[in-house]
Amino acid sequence: MSAPKLGARIRELRQQRQLTLEALAESSRVSRAMLSKLERGEKNPTLVVAAKIAAALRVSLTSFLGTEEKRRTVVVIPKERRMVFRDAETGFERQLLSPTFESRTLEFVRHLIPHGASSGELPAYRKGTEKYLVVERGTLVVTLSGEDYRVGPGDALYFEADAPHRFTNAGRGVCSYFLVISQRAAS
């Protein structure tokens, strides 16, 4: 998504929730100046900043970064039409593999992390959010509540994502892994 389109999306979501820039800055812990630059389309956020804003706006990262599609029984997403987010600072890449249906409770994504790079500390998701991952290639270290979990090719990991967490490439070359994000219905 281009910086101007993403900026318009941030403004739209913020206004729908009747938030001022100051209120969004406070709840997201992203400076008002940065939010203003993002809304004006002058800058693209890092993955961590995008995740903080999405959490403050109470939407998934996918909903924040993209538009909703009309629900259909069969959806084909050609590789060249995947919704892709690249963090210019870290090279971290997030490829959405599932359709972007409104009010969905499941996302399927593929992440690519360059050698020596990290996602940065991602904010906690709302209670009831679970992440399931399997490493396709490389070595991934997942940091949860200060504890590191090393995951290699073919290894799988599950965790509740209601605490800050980080994904780090701990191997040589690019690390790629698939991630399913599931949100249980609020009780």
Domain span holding position 42: 3-65
Do 28 and 106 fall into the same domain? Answer: no
Q: pLDDT at position 104, please?
A: 65
User: What's the pLDDT tens digit per position in 79-92?
Assistant: 888 888 888 888 99
Do 24 and 102 fall into the same domain? Answer: no
Do 139 and 174 fall into the same domain? Answer: yes
High-pLDDT (> 90) share of the chain, %: 45
High-pLDDT (> 70) share of the chain, %: 92
Kindly state whether residue 28 falls inside one of the protein's structural domains.
yes
Do 128 and 44 fall into the same domain? Answer: no
Do 37 and 83 fall into the same domain? Answer: no
Do 172 and 85 fall into the same domain? Answer: yes
HEC letters along the chain:
CCHHHHHHHHHHHHHHCCCCHHHHHHHHCCCHHHHHHHHCCCCCCCHHHHHHHHHHCCCCHHHHHCCCECCCCCCCCCHHHCEEEECCCCCCEEEECCCCECCCCEEEEEEEECCCCECCCECCCCCCEEEEEEEEECCEEEEECCEEEEECCCCEEEEECCCCEEEEECCCCCEEEEEEEEECCCC
- Give the CATH number for residue 19: 1.10.260.40
Do 48 and 122 fall into the same domain? Answer: no
State the chain's mean pLDDT as an integer. 87
Number of independent structural domains in the chain:
2
Report the alpha-carbon angle 57-90-134, nearest 5: 80
User: What's the pLDDT tens digit per position in 55-102?
Assistant: 898 887 777 776 554 555 777 778 888 888 888 888 999 998 887 765
Compute how many other C-beta atoms are within 10 angstroms of the C-beta atom of residue 114: 14
Do 55 and 114 fall into the same domain? Answer: no
Domain boundary among 39, 65, 91: 65
Residue 118 has pLDDT above 90, yes or no: yes
Do 148 and 117 fall into the same domain? Answer: yes
Do 132 and 177 fall into the same domain? Answer: yes
Query: Of the spans 13-17, 63-67, 169-173, which averages the highest pLDDT?
Result: 169-173
Kindly state whether residue 173 falls inside one of the protein's structural domains.
yes
**Mean pLDDT confidence for 173-180:** 96
Q: Which amino acid is at 186?
A: A
User: What's the pLDDT tens digit per position in 122-143?
Assistant: 988 888 899 999 999 999 999 9
Q: pLDDT at position 72, please?
A: 59
Is 155:135 a contact under the CB 8 Å cutoff? yes
Closest CA to 161 of 146, 147, 174, 144: 144
Is 182:105 a contact under the CB 8 Å cutoff? yes
Do 51 and 91 fall into the same domain? Answer: no
Distances (CA, A) of 115 to 119, 140, 148: 12, 10, 18
Q: Which amino acid is at 169?
A: N
Q: pLDDT at position 93, please?
A: 92
- Give the CATH number for residue 137: 2.60.120.10
